[in-house]
Chain A
């Protein structure tokens, strides 16, 4: 059986710095796979290459057997591979509902001119965007803040909004860059359940980068570990927790955010 996503010998250099060095792994359909590693290990860089926000230096990424690396982000999004951002990235002066409506761009059937003239298809689209937005808002438990302007929301909600915007595109693969950052324990657990629900109910394959180890161990089917741009391990949470190289990498790093 071929894999949904294949990362093949991907390398990325920034000048003299090798942020990713010959990374290869596969992602199965409906899997939750986490990419972990100390700060600067190259996790975000890897996600950016998978979503074509950065070109690879060498190597390629395949989605359903088709190359999706070294294209344009919107082309990759159109194919169903969508990323969220490590830094809070939202449409500041839109409400939650407006953001989710705009993010359904890829579901539009009418042309831009059709929307301008108000064609029947455009009206149908607009209705369907609204319904889909309301569904998604309910699914995400954001009903209460649906009409709040994003800039007025607290940090925890902003992370959720970032994910909601990604989800609104109806992706096959969602790449979440530190979705639990800045959340307390309860918020994180809620989010963990939500991500799982996204996978279970919507059939979305999830890749995520996270530093919150308990959450990662809880949510992941498999884990890929990067250190200084090298992939040092791959396996189930249990395997990773007992992997010598991984323990060494984390103990060797200055920050002790790790609680394996």
Chain B
């Protein structure tokens, strides 16, 4: 019961209270910030899932970049609807993850982490080199998402005709985030989640009981990258442009930090972690050139004293993966 009540409060907050607050305070820049948080948390959720099979993934920026490019290319070059390009961007990122994942997922610990760290740079360089991605100039003037209607019934309005596309993006990002985390919750509590947990704790033992660990690893990595691709595609659409530098190694590191901060044992960890880290960074802006120093120090202190993340402070009744 408490969980359903919590969910209802959360939905009311993001879909009604936040827009109401923005209107009342006139701070419409908050939409952009919160939209970013929602999208970054989707990509972070993917990273969290790779943590769940015991792999430190510092490569999500690569898949976000892939997603952003795939969607941008489909929309600008093939004239496809953004809403169709979005799942395709995710699927393309997932397919790339399968190809890359088969060899690199055999590595564990720092070895996997180091290789994943290189991925973002590899995708950036690829984007610079390929003709279809338009090199350093990137892809610009991407049209806003069009509408979707079935039998004359408008499901999604054409963003270009809207008075306030920022609000529309905010809603779209929130819907995607809610879907993502609902799916994550489901996944973690289903058999795939249990198998992931067994692999995280002992891969050899998992394979001794018949778990095809290399298969599960690839499945999980591709789901993770699917989420990265979706997040990246949405970002590209909001910015209406994609550059090779749209996602960088630092972004990949942040996706990982979001998970650490929120708590690796809790499905909703990445959401909280992203929110806190994003706002935390902005709040420290006042410190000028000490911003990065203060930010890093705070992170280190937090991780020392809360090794299981912020959600380990959770109130009773709030349920994570670690039951």
* A250: B residues at CB distance < 8 A: none
In-complex Cβ contact of A165 among B190, B192, B197, B209 (8 A): B209
**Is B192 a contact of A116 with CB atoms below 8 Å?**
yes
In angstroms, Cα B207 to Cα A91, docked, is 12
**Is B208 a contact of A82 with CB atoms below 8 Å?**
yes
**A196 at the A/B interface (Cβ < 8 Å)?**
no
* B195: A residues at CB distance < 8 A: 102, 105
**Is A102 a contact of B198 with CB atoms below 8 Å?**
yes
**A112 at the A/B interface (Cβ < 8 Å)?**
yes
**B191 at the A/B interface (Cβ < 8 Å)?**
yes
Chain A: minimal CB distance from B217 (Å): 12
Q: Which of A114-150 contact B (CB under 8 A)?
A: 115-116, 118, 122, 125
**Is A115 a contact of B191 with CB atoms below 8 Å?**
yes
Say yes or no: A102-B207 contact (C-beta < 8 A), given A74-B213, A89-B202, A91-B202: no
**Is A91 a contact of B208 with CB atoms below 8 Å?**
no
Binary flags per residue of B244-256, CB closer than 8 Å to A gives 1, else 0: 0000000000000
Binary flags per residue of B199-218, CB closer than 8 Å to A gives 1, else 0: 00110110111111100000
* B212: A residues at CB distance < 8 A: 72, 74
**A77 at the A/B interface (Cβ < 8 Å)?**
yes
**Is B211 a contact of A116 with CB atoms below 8 Å?**
no
Across chains A and B, the number of contacting residue pairs, with CB separation under 8 Å, is 83
The CB with the most chain B CB atoms within 10 A, among A74, A85, A92, is that of A74
The CB with the most chain B CB atoms within 10 A, among A77, A84, A91, is that of A91
In angstroms, Cα B197 to Cα A61, docked, is 32
* A37: B residues at CB distance < 8 A: none
In-complex Cβ contact of A101 among B190, B192, B194 (8 A): B194
**A241 at the A/B interface (Cβ < 8 Å)?**
no
- Interface size class on chain B is 20 to 34
In angstroms, Cα B211 to Cα A110, docked, is 15
Binary flags per residue of A61-91, CB closer than 8 Å to B gives 1, else 0: 0000000000011100110001111000111
In angstroms, Cα B242 to Cα A86, docked, is 54
**B187 at the A/B interface (Cβ < 8 Å)?**
yes
**Is A77 a contact of B208 with CB atoms below 8 Å?**
yes
Which partner residue on chain A sits nearest B213 by CB separation? A74
In angstroms, Cα B211 to Cα A144, docked, is 28
Binary flags per residue of A160-182, CB closer than 8 Å to B gives 1, else 0: 00000110110000000000000
In angstroms, Cα B195 to Cα A130, docked, is 16
Which partner residue on chain B sits nearest A165 by CB separation? B209
**A183 at the A/B interface (Cβ < 8 Å)?**
no
Which partner residue on chain B sits nearest A103 by CB separation? B209
**B186 at the A/B interface (Cβ < 8 Å)?**
yes
**Is B190 a contact of A77 with CB atoms below 8 Å?**
no
**Is B210 a contact of A74 with CB atoms below 8 Å?**
yes
The CB with the most chain A CB atoms within 10 A, among B192, B205, B212, B213, is that of B205
In angstroms, Cα B207 to Cα A52, docked, is 10
**Is A105 a contact of B205 with CB atoms below 8 Å?**
no
* B197: A residues at CB distance < 8 A: 91, 94, 102
Chain B: minimal CB distance from A85 (Å): 7
In-complex Cβ contact of B208 among A73, A92, A94, A115 (8 A): A73
In angstroms, Cα B316 to Cα A176, docked, is 42
* A165: B residues at CB distance < 8 A: 205, 209
**Is A108 a contact of B191 with CB atoms below 8 Å?**
yes
**Is B210 a contact of A169 with CB atoms below 8 Å?**
yes
In angstroms, Cα B184 to Cα A116, docked, is 10
* A82: B residues at CB distance < 8 A: 208-210
**A153 at the A/B interface (Cβ < 8 Å)?**
no
**A228 at the A/B interface (Cβ < 8 Å)?**
no
* A220: B residues at CB distance < 8 A: none
**A93 at the A/B interface (Cβ < 8 Å)?**
yes
In angstroms, Cα B194 to Cα A125, docked, is 14
**A106 at the A/B interface (Cβ < 8 Å)?**
yes
**A56 at the A/B interface (Cβ < 8 Å)?**
no
Say yes or no: A112-B191 contact (C-beta < 8 A), given A89-B205, A91-B201, A102-B198: yes
**Is B213 a contact of A115 with CB atoms below 8 Å?**
no
* A110: B residues at CB distance < 8 A: 191
Q: Could you name 27 residue pairs across A and B whose Cβ atoms are closer than 8 Å? A: A53-B207, A74-B210, A74-B211, A77-B209, A82-B208, A82-B209, A89-B202, A89-B205, A90-B202, A91-B197, A91-B205, A93-B322, A94-B198, A102-B194, A102-B195, A105-B195, A105-B210, A112-B191, A112-B219, A115-B191, A115-B192, A116-B186, A118-B190, A165-B209, A166-B209, A168-B209, A169-B210
User: A112-B191, A116-B192 are known contacts; what are 18 more A-B pairs with Cβ within 8 Å?
Assistant: A73-B204, A73-B207, A73-B208, A77-B208, A84-B208, A85-B205, A85-B208, A101-B194, A103-B209, A105-B209, A110-B191, A115-B190, A115-B191, A116-B186, A125-B191, A168-B209, A169-B209, A169-B210
